[in-house]
Every structure is written in structure tokens, then in C-alpha cells.
A and B are shown apart, each in its own frame.
Chain A
Amino acid sequence: MNIFRLAGDMTHLASVLVLLLKIHTIKSCAGVSLKTQELYALVFATRYLDIFTDFISLYNTVMKLIFLGSSFSIVWYIRRHKIVRRSYDKDQDTFRHYFLVLPCLLLALVIHEKFTFREVMWAFSLYLEAVAILPQLVLLQRTRNIDNLTGQYVFLLGAYRALYILNWIYRYFTEPHFVHWITWIAGLVQTLLYADFFYYYFESWKNNVKLQLPA
């Protein structure tokens, strides 16, 4: 464990807690893409298959349970909660996320570390996580008015993966043979997808104006 990875995990934890808190307290999911939340639930479900078979550490298990629990409960809130579901903007949240799942699955069947179910699912979860934010970014551009919490959620989600890249660089230089191209490239693509959001997020923060993404 290094400071970059710990900071990355804490930032990731903060992102899901910000979202859960927003939905739970104001009982609204305005501006939140259900598609992205469903993709994230799938990412965690396929990445943490080893949660009950390989015990790594208490921290690792607890964090996995939190990420699984929060992502599935956010999906439940938006789909099932009688008040929250009313604020879900299904006419705007129209990104066909199946077009993301299938290519990631095919890519995982072709590019993986070992051709086993677990390794293919691991690669699939990495590729899917890289693109899972797309429905949310598209929704933000459509809905124009980005409320602070949703903006913070997306920012923290992007920042966590950027911190993980620093973690991989640190581990590359401190651990011999630490080379994992699949993870690195997927993580880099993921962070690059946030690049323009980061730009507009900092612009709005610097000029102290409401965050607006160009259409």
C-alpha cells in the first residue's frame, strides 16, 4: 500500500459516499445517470469475484463490500425508491450502455492475462470501468445545469483513477517486474475521458461560476 493508492481509494470512497448521501438526504437523483451506476455495479461485481475466496486484508474486504453495497444500493434507489425514482431523467439518460458492455466483453475475451473465467472477468471489469462514466458525462452535457454534488461526484471519480496511475508509477519503480499493461492502459484511457470534464470543472471553480459543459 502506498500513499497514492490510499489517497485513490479514499477519493473513490468519497465519490460513492457523496452520491449516496445526495440521493439519501435530498431524495433526488436529478442529473445522475442510472446507466453509469448500473455499469459500475457490474464493474464491481465482475472485479470482486474473489471477495469470498481470496482474503487479502481486512481493508481490502471492507472496501470491496462498501463499493459493492453502495453501487447496488444507488441502483436500487434510482430504480425502486418511490420518491427518488421520480427524479430520474430517463428521457435524457439514453446512452445505450449495452454498446459499452459487449465490446468490453469481446475485448476481454481477446486481451487478458490468462484465459480463465476470473482473469477474463477481471479484464472485462477494467475495460468497462474505463468507459462506465460516458453515460454520466453525456447526461451532464445534456442537462446543462450540473448541481454541485453531481459535479463533485464525477470529479472525485476521475481523481481516484488519476491517483491510481501515480500508484502504478510508484509501484513500477519500487517493485521489480511490476508491469501490468492491461490495467495501465485501461486506467489511462479512463482518466483521459475525464480530461475535458476536469478542464471545465477547474475553469468553473477558478472563475467561481456554475459548472457548464459545452453542448
Chain B
Amino acid sequence: SSNKELKDEL
């Protein structure tokens, strides 16, 4: 679960 996917959140 990379943090990448969270980076699209503000």
C-alpha cells in the first residue's frame, strides 16, 4: 500500500 495513492488527497 504505497503512500502514493494518498498523495492524490489534499
Residues of B within 8 A of A200 (CB): none
Residues of B within 8 A of A164 (CB): 9
B5 pairs with A175, CB closer than 8 A: yes
Among A9, A57, A180, point to the contact of B3 (Cβ < 8 A): A180
A96 at the interface (CB under 8 A from B): no
Q: How many A-B contacts at CB < 8 Å in the complex? A: 29
Min CB gap B3→A, angstroms: 5
A114 pairs with B1, CB closer than 8 A: no
Min CB gap A156→B, angstroms: 15
Min CB gap A66→B, angstroms: 10
Min CB gap A129→B, angstroms: 11
Residues of A within 8 A of B10 (CB): 9, 12, 60, 63-64, 67
User: Can you name the residue of chain A whose Cβ is closest to the Cβ of B6?
Assistant: A180
In the assembled complex, the Cα of A64 lies from the Cα of B3 at a distance in Å of 18
Question: C-beta contact mask, A133-176 vs B, less than 8 Å → 1, else 0?
Answer: 00000000000000000000000000000001001000000010
A54 pairs with B7, CB closer than 8 A: yes
Interface residues in A52-81 (C-beta closer than 8 Å to B): 54, 56-57, 60, 63-64, 67
Among B1, B3, B8, point to the contact of A56 (Cβ < 8 A): B8
A178 at the interface (CB under 8 A from B): yes
Min CB gap A201→B, angstroms: 24
Min CB gap A110→B, angstroms: 17
In the assembled complex, the Cα of A51 lies from the Cα of B1 at a distance in Å of 22
A127 at the interface (CB under 8 A from B): no
Residues of B within 8 A of A114 (CB): 3
A-B contact pairs, 7 of them (CB 8 A): A54-B7, A56-B7, A57-B8, A114-B3, A167-B9, A179-B1, A180-B1
State the B residues within 8 Å of A (CB).
1, 3, 5-10
State the A residues within 8 Å of B (CB).
5, 9, 12, 50, 54, 56-57, 60, 63-64, 67, 113-114, 119, 122, 164, 167, 175, 177-180, 183
Closest 8 CB pairs of A and B: A177-B1, A113-B3, A56-B8, A179-B1, A63-B10, A180-B6, A9-B10, A183-B6
